[in-house]
Amino acid sequence: MKKHHYTLWVISLVIIVAIVVGGALLFKKSTTKTDSNNKTIKIATAGTIFPNAYKENGKLTGYDVEIAQAAAKAEGYKVKFTTTDFDGVFGQVDAGRVDTIANDIGATPERRKKYIFSDKYNKETTNIAVKNGTHYQQIKELEGKTVATSGAGNNFIETLKEYDPQVKIKVYETRDQAVQALITDRVDGLLYSRGTLSALIKQQDLKWRVIDEDASSPQAIAYPFKDDEAGHKSRAVFNKGLKKIKADGTLNKISDKYFGYDMTQVISKK
């Protein structure tokens, strides 16, 4: 009788162990499958700057947004965007709530002291757009004239002042106001980056052109990451993805959509 009970006990124990081990293996397999299907890069943006990251009909879009989506997708990742005030985007990275930022971020020497950056996917210079039919070919020819821009603290104001202080600058509260100032001939030019000016001309079908001369050295635009293990891993994903979308033409397709020119040629220039 005791032997019979012992045998039943052993059999029961074997069955229980088998169930536990089998369940653990099934859970592990399920978890691994779930993790692989939910690889996500978290990205912060202000979502208020055309053509880089802005909302259209309530949906976030823009050059920086689409490039991030394409680069992540090329490596099998999805992206999740968080919108916040621009003053808070770097704080999101610092706190580990997001992996990076898609908001026309310049990889400046000051920022490189704290963050690591992806390969560049855009390059900006300070430029001036003028109306077609005007004679301006060089920035010097606008000395004594007035160009419009917006936002009292934008970098283009300072770089133009350093480059040619004799060009007058009228600062408007909004970009739309600055654009309208040139449309209505209240100013002689519009001051922003070449990319922004090209995008505005393309979007609104304006009969304008961007003066060839740059008023600043090129500034690399890239995705910033926290300088830690997770940041290095996310940056590696982005760099691999960026390399792929450059090679297959996706980057230029997105660039042409927003700017009307070949971005690969722009970022390859020193």
Instruction: Give 175-193 pLDDT, tens digit per residue.
Output: 999 999 999 999 999 999 9
pTM score, whole prediction: 0.81
pLDDT of residue 35: 37
pLDDT of residue 99: 97
Q: Is CATH 3.90.1150.10 what the domain over 40-123+219-261 is classified as, yes or no? A: no
Q: Whole-angstrom distance between the N-terminal and C-terminal Cα of the chain?
A: 89
pLDDT of residue 19: 52
Whole-angstrom distance, CA of residue 33 vs CA of residue 28: 8
| Residue 117 CB-half CA count within 13 A | 20
Sign of CA dihedral 143, 148, 149, 152: positive
Q: What is the pLDDT of residues 81-112, one digit of tens each?
A: 999 998 899 999 999 999 999 999 999 999 99
The answer to whether 261 and 198 are in contact (CB under 8 A) is: yes
Q: Which residues of the chain have pLDDT under 50?
A: 1, 10, 14, 17, 20-21, 24-36
pLDDT of residue 129: 98
Q: Give the architecture-level CATH label for domain 126-210.
A: 3-Layer(aba) Sandwich (3.40)
pLDDT of residue 199: 96
pLDDT of residue 219: 93
Residue 43, helix vs strand vs coil: strand
In the chain, CATH 3.40.190.10 covers 40-123+219-261, 126-210
Peptide bond into 51 cis (omega under 30): yes
Q: Provide the token pair at 255.
A: 């660039």
- Apex CA 195: angle with CA 53 and CA 174, to 5°? 60
pLDDT of residue 153: 66
